[in-house]
Amino acid sequence: VAGGAPATIATVAIYELVSQRLLPAPSAEQDEEWDEFWDEDAMISGAWADKARSVGRRHVVFVRHAQADPEAEGSEAEALSATGKRQAELTAARLQELFGKVDVVLHSNAPEAKATAAILKLHLKPKFGAVESAELAEGVPSIPIPTPDPLASIADSVVASAAERAERAFSANLWRPTGDLPSQISTQVIVSHGNVIRYLTCRALQLPLTAWGRLASHHCAVTWLDIDAGGNVMLREFGGAGHLPPDCITYT
């Protein structure tokens, strides 16, 4: 134990030395690549958005839908597997711990997303309820690189349609608040799908739109974007699944 502190100091010193000598410092040109006007095409509508517009900070929280029941038929309540229902309940508890009050739960029109949102709404009691948005539907908004074999032959028209839909989802949900009420925070939960969440995350961070395939998100994983009135976007969590026990961590 006595040698622990010197060893730690030595390790830190080596890291700093390597970082200074081998890692290039960010250039001014790299800094200028951030688009300050990234949300100029924002489409802000709805009662929840009117409230969120004037706050000082927005928490946009994506949740991938819970595990679907492949044999489900009929009502929305039957759309999730038993594991999926537990995933959604545990995720609601996690969001309650993180954020307390939630303004709205938005969701796609897929049965598994609607069922997940219904459970979140039951526990979180969002001020503006649950709102369906067709723009949050699953799709392939760009061909990722590296390209998985199943996506190599997808038609250009299919990708273009999904890209247009994803861009509408971006404009409707990801924009800076005005900051007129600087001490207030708005929290919006969005229940969507793996491809869409990964794409929108890359889009919000101004990363290559072909990079989404290098990310992965389990069912009911939490992705948290923090947007302030200056237009700064911070990824505070991606694909967080620590609130789920091992037997509740599923991907397909």
CA-nearest of 215, 214, 234 to 224 is: 234
pLDDT confidence of residue 176: 98
Which tokens go with 130?
């649950």
pLDDT at 183 over 60: yes
Least confident range of 67-81, 119-133, 139-153 = 67-81
Mean pLDDT across the chain, nearest whole number? 90
pLDDT confidence of residue 13: 45
pLDDT confidence of residue 95: 98
- Distance CA(58)–CA(55), nearest Å, equals 7
pLDDT confidence of residue 161: 97
pLDDT in tens, 106-116: 999 999 999 99
CA-nearest of 49, 55, 107, 60 to 224 is: 60
pLDDT confidence of residue 225: 98
pLDDT confidence of residue 10: 47
Q: Label residue 70 by pLDDT band (50, 70, 90).
A: confident
pLDDT at 3 over 90: no
Inter-axis angle of helices 156-173 and 194-204, nearest 10: 60
Write the DSSP symbol of residue 150. Answer: G
Q: Label residue 61 by pLDDT band (50, 70, 90).
A: very high
pLDDT in tens, 22-59: 444 444 454 568 999 999 999 999 999 999 999 999 99
Q: Label residue 223 by pLDDT band (50, 70, 90).
A: very high
pLDDT at 18 over 70: no
Q: Label residue 20 by pLDDT band (50, 70, 90).
A: very low
Strand partners, 55: 181
Coil, helix or strand at residue 36: coil
Residues 178-182, mean pLDDT to the nearest whole number: 97
pLDDT confidence of residue 31: 52
Q: Label residue 141 by pLDDT band (50, 70, 90).
A: very high
